[in-house]
Amino acid sequence: MRLKNEVAIITGAASGIGQAVSAQMAKEGAKIVLVDLNSCEKTIDLLGDAEYLECLGDIRDPEFVKAVVNRTIEKFEEIHILVNNAGTASRLDLEDMTLEMWDRDLDTNLKAAFLFTQAVVYPYMKEAEYGRIINISSVSGINGGVVSGDEKNGRSGPAYAASKGGIIALTKWVAKELGKYNITCNSVAPGATTTAITAGVAYDTSNQVIDRMGEPNDIANAVLYFATKEAGYTTSQVLKVDGGISIG
Sign of dihedral through CA atoms 219, 183, 238, 162? positive
Q: Are 135 and 84 in contact (CB under 8 A)?
A: yes
Q: Which residue from 138, 108, 133, 111 is spatially nearest to 122, judged by alpha carbons?
A: 133
Q: Taking Cα atoms as reference points, which of 32, 26, 12, 145 lies closest to residue 90?
A: 145
The conformation of residue 205, written as its DSSP 8-state character, comes to -
Q: State the catalytic residue, choosing from 52, 130, 160, 203.
A: 160
Residues 237-247: b if buried by 16+ CB within 10 A, e if exposed: bbbbbbbebee
Catalytic status, residue 130: no
| 33: phi then psi, degrees, rounded to nearest 5 | -105, 110
**2 touches 229 (CB < 8 A):** yes
Q: Which residues are catalytic?
A: 160
